[in-house]
């Protein structure tokens, strides 16, 4: 029986029951109500450029293969053989002609179709067996400006409706010129002993932690510019369908600057005017500020660093983090490499900022093994700009000031909507206005 989650999330008063961070029954409900339902980022198109390219990842705990077939289509399918269930692909990424299962040798195409098996006459002579019924189970696939998303839910709305006006914000990274973006090759994978919602909550709107958690790291990398500048002046949080972005318009190139590479900041500055002509001055300024964003439920990024990451659930107390560095395709190889190094220095498993975060999320999770601890509420009450007007026209539910709990509260409100909904018909979608 599913649990009523709304009763655990007091969105209005900013109180959240810790149960959602430790309870296995709730976690199982998440796999069904959230992960089997939502659109999920699975790859950047640059990772599966041509026929035979594939990567493997997860949607919830379902292992999936993302592969480019001969007809150029991108296919997302379960990495589980329909014969006895074995995994058909064990590599993280590569190039291949077909996936052959280790167990009995069934062979699948890049489009997931079952192409053949050893001793195939045994099946040919079996009445009622139809090879076309036994391909790898496929997801729906749609892309948005280079990002590939998939869902296993036939009832889900289109990706465009799922993202809604959040696309307006995403364009500030994905549509800054005609050449688009790409991932630097390679995926960084690491395991964290934390609930997947801690990193999601952190990226959807928690700039507040940076002032304390990242203080020493930022001071060492940003010494010349005087550390991290974050305030509620000229900054905002915005939420669309549970996706969130918090940003400053102070134009200080904070994220990029934290990598300690002046050439990248110079590169971003040199492009600002062109981007402004293309997208307007607001989004031109959003690109490089101290900012973060997240797409519901578990896909996040930092503008300016251009680190992109997914928080893949492995039970209520473990998360597999996959991360990549996204760069503008038109940048020189030298700039791309500087970006790669900067991202490794800051937001890789050995990066100075990532280590700060991981430790906090792990201890926030592990503490819940204590019976008394796990029954306490968590405080999401910071709301210092309540009622203040927004002087510019921005999509979504907009709150003035980066330093508040607005986006995180809206993330958990959305979480409760999914967890309690019987079908997609019960899940509200904001109508695109921009």
Residues interacting with Fe ion, by CB under 5 A? 357
Helix (H, G, I), strand (E, B) or coil at 149: strand
Q: Give CA–CA dist 35/55, Å, rounded.
A: 19
CB 107 to ligand FES: min, Å: 9
CB 80 to ligand FES: min, Å: 9
Largest CA distance in the chain: 76
CB 263, CB 229: distance < 8 Å: no
Radius of gyration of the chain (CA): 22
H or E segment to which residue 333 belongs: helix 333-347
**Taking the alpha carbons of 405, 410, 412, 413 in that order, is the dihedral positive or negative?**
positive
CB 207 to Fe ion: min, Å: 9
* CB closer to ligand FES, 104 vs 179: 104
CB 228 to Fe ion: min, Å: 11
357: partner contacted, choices Fe ion, ligand FES, none (Cβ within 5-8 A by kind): Fe ion
* CB closer to ligand FES, 54 vs 247: 54
* CB closer to Fe ion, 60 vs 199: 199
CB 203 to Fe ion: min, Å: 8
CB 133 to Fe ion: min, Å: 47
What are the Cα distances from residue 105, in Å, to 92, 109, 120, 158? Answer: 20, 13, 11, 36
What are the Cα distances from residue 375, in Å, to 2, 363, 405, 416? Answer: 19, 16, 21, 19
* CB closer to ligand FES, 90 vs 103: 103
* CB closer to Fe ion, 79 vs 188: 188
CB 346, CB 360: distance < 8 Å: no
H or E segment to which residue 297 belongs: none
84: partner contacted, choices Fe ion, ligand FES, none (Cβ within 5-8 A by kind): ligand FES
**Residue numbers at the binding site for ligand FES (CB under 6 A):** 81, 83-84, 86, 101, 103-106
* CB closer to ligand FES, 106 vs 203: 106
């Amino acid at each position: 029986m599913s649990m009523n989650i709304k009763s655990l999330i007091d969105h209005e008063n900013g109180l959240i029951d810790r149960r959602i961070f430790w309870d296995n029954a709730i976690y199982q409900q998440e796999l069904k109500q959230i992960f089997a339902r939502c659109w999920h980022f699975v790859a950047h198109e640059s990772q599966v450029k041509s026929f035979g390219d594939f990567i493997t990842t997860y949607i919830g705990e379902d292992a999936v293969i993302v592969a480019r077939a001969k007809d150029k289509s991108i296919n997302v399918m379960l990495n589980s053989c329909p014969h006895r269930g074995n995994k058909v692909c064990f590599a993280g990424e590569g190039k291949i002609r077909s996936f052959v299962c280790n167990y009995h040798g069934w062979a699948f195409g890049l489009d997931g179709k079952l192409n053949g098996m050893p001793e195939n006459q045994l099946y040919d002579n079996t009445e009622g067996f139809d090879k076309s019924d036994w391909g790898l189970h496929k997801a729906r696939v749609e892309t948005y400006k280079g990002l590939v998303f998939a869902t296993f839910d036939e009832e889900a709305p289109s990706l465009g409706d799922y993202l809604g006006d959040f696309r307006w914000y995403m364009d500030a990274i994905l549509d800054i010129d005609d050449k688009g973006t790409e991932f630097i090759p390679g995926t960084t994978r690491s395991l964290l002993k934390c609930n997947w919602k801690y990193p999601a909550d952190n990226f959807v709107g928690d700039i507040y932690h940076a002032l304390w958690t990242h203080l020493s790291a930022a001071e060492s990398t940003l010494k010349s510019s005087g550390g991290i500048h974050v305030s509620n002046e000229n900054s905002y949080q915005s939420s669309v369908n549970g996706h969130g972005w918090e940003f400053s318009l102070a134009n200080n190139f904070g994220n990029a600057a934290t990598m300690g590479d002046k050439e990248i900041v110079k590169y971003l500055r040199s492009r600002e005017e062109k981007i402004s002509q293309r997208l307007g001055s607001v989004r031109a300024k959003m690109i490089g500020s101290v900012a973060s964003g997240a797409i519901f439920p578990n896909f996040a990024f930092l503008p300016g660093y251009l680190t992109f990451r997914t928080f893949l659930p492995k039970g209520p107390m473990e998360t597999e983090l996959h991360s990549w560095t996204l760069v503008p395709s038109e940048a020189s190889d030298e700039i791309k490499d500087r970006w790669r190094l900067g991202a490794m220095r800051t937001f890789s498993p050995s990066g100075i900022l990532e280590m700060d975060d991981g430790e906090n999320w792990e201890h926030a999770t592990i503490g819940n093994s204590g019976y008394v601890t796990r029954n306490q509420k968590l405080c999401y009450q910071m709301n210092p700009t309540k009622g203040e007007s927004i002087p510019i026209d921005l999509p979504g539910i907009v709150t003035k000031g980066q330093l508040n709990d607005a986006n995180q509260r809206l993330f958990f409100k959305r979480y409760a909507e999914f967890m309690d909904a019987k079908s997609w018909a019960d899940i509200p979608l904001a109508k695109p206005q921009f």
